[in-house]
Amino acid sequence: MSENQAQNDQWYMIEYDLIDREVLAANNIPFAPLEVVIGDRRNRTNVVGVSFPASELPKVLELFELSTLINKTPTNERNVILLEQPIIEITENNIDQLEDILSVLKDYAHVQKKNIVVSNPHGRGQNLPKRKENTLYIYFWSVPVRYSREDYPTVFDIELGRNQQQGTAPSGLGIQLRDNNGRVVAEVHNDSVLYILFDLSHSGAYAGPLLERILQEWSFLSVTPEERIAILAEQEAELQRKSLGLYIAAITTRATAHKQAMKDELGKVNGTIDTHRTELVSLLRRQLFLVEQVHNTTFDTSDIEAKMAAEFQQLESLPHVKKVRLQDNLLLVYTDVLHSQQLEDGTVRELGEYIIRIGLNGQTIRVQNTTRLVDGQYHPHDMGEGLLCLGNFGEGISQLVAQYQFYNLTMMMIHFLKNPNEHDQAGKQIYDWPKVRQTKETK
């Protein structure tokens, strides 16, 4: 705002959070951002807002529905007046249910377009205050003269708390406000001062609803009986609309939460099904494997002794097998000195005598070289403690164990021992084993 504008025109100012500058511009209303100071030297407050010419006030109030801006506060800027909402002033802090009471008073102040000053004399007489423009005064548990004690067990059919029941008898002055049972519960003096006769603000029952009912009776003083009936009917209709909205919101919230709970449970069930499906697939594969093993197993329990004796003799008659023993459910096959097949360099390497340990219950097959260890190994393919890296032989050997074909198994093991793969990292260590002979081509 320019200095000339401030000097020549009366301007009003509204705080930023109540007004939108874009809306002002769209409606061709001149405005200027402004920061002012209000209050005296002891209590100064900075306020930031938007100022506009006084001639635009009706239009601004209509645009932003700000008819409740009743307070006009001078500022440090000449010709600039700050417009403010109704103010609730608490002059004594001995009010227990302050939050509920303030909620009701704020609504009432906006409807009545009045500032409200609240006090709780707490059983003391309170003289009528010096009246201010646009201001209502409310006193709990008091009258403007000396009083006599009187208790209020119920007000508007609401049973009061023990401490709330303390009160004063009506003074007989002013306008009396009665509850639905006809009992005087408050007095109005000079149209703007309300004395509530009992200790409404003390801890107890329903301070908010009680205050709302008394303020409603106060507001009815200025209307005709017909208007009062119409107002009550509209309030009842509004309560019904609010109740319907709350009902719809509650059911919607519940239904949404229930649906989400079902989705969450469905997700868990699906997860469990996936887990069991995986387990089921694994079991079906195992079933197929076992069926195949049962079908392919040549072991027959009929005439078992004769067959086992024959197989045992066959094992002992295998090439390179010296003897066969059974110890702790292990089939021990003792070999003579095994030699490698001729290697690519033309040499043949001596491996030594072995004990092949075959578990009859399906345990891992291990070997032991009783002749020598080379670099701590019983064989070039020894992974440790005689456990061999069988490579592609592994699957075939496992099937032979499952089918109790120990004769074929022993032949395959001896063949594997004599034929290390000199082309892989482990097998090429065969060249560290002692030579037996060398062919003429490589000499």
Q: What pLDDT digit, counting tens, does each position of 88-116 carry?
A: 998 876 788 888 899 899 988 888 888 99
The 10s digit of each residue's pLDDT in 383-397 is 999 999 888 878 888
Query: Mean pLDDT score of the chain, rounded to an integer?
Result: 86
pLDDT at 443 > cutoff 80: no
Q: Band the pLDDT of 3: cuts 50, 70, 90.
A: very low
Q: Band the pLDDT of 228: cuts 50, 70, 90.
A: confident
Domain that holds residue 234: 224-296
Shared domain for 246 and 354, answered yes or no, is no
Contact call for residues 293 and 403 (beta carbons, < 8 A):
yes
Going by C-beta distance under 8 Å and a sequence separation of 6 or more, which residues neighbour residue 401?
358, 359, 362, 365, 409
Shared domain for 288 and 188, answered yes or no, is no
- DSSP one-letter code for 427: G
Point out the domain boundary residue: 241, 274, 296: 296
Q: Is residue 51 part of a domain?
A: yes
Shared domain for 243 and 317, answered yes or no, is no
Shared domain for 137 and 97, answered yes or no, is yes
Shared domain for 256 and 382, answered yes or no, is no
Q: Is residue 136 part of a domain?
A: yes
The pLDDT value recorded for residue 439 is 54
Three-state DSSP at 31 gives coil
Q: Is residue 196 part of a domain?
A: yes
User: Residue for token digits 């329990």?
Assistant: 301
The pLDDT value recorded for residue 441 is 44
Q: Band the pLDDT of 417: cuts 50, 70, 90.
A: very high
Per DSSP (E only), the strands in 190-335 are 193-196, 321-327, 330-335
Shared domain for 258 and 217, answered yes or no, is no
**Total domains, the chain:** 4
How far apart CA 381 and CA 340 sit, in angstroms, is 13
The pLDDT value recorded for residue 302 is 59
Q: Is residue 301 part of a domain?
A: no
The pLDDT value recorded for residue 329 is 82
186-190, 247-251, 324-328, range with greatest mean pLDDT: 186-190
Shared domain for 123 and 206, answered yes or no, is yes
The 10s digit of each residue's pLDDT in 252-298 is 888 888 889 889 998 998 889 988 888 888 888 888 877 876 676 55
Contact call for residues 140 and 121 (beta carbons, < 8 A):
yes
Mean pLDDT of 317-325: 91
pLDDT at 47 > cutoff 80: yes
Shared domain for 120 and 10, answered yes or no, is no
Point out the domain boundary residue: 84, 111, 137: 84
Shared domain for 429 and 366, answered yes or no, is yes
| Single-letter code of the amino acid located at 2 | S
Q: How long, in residues, is the chain?
A: 443
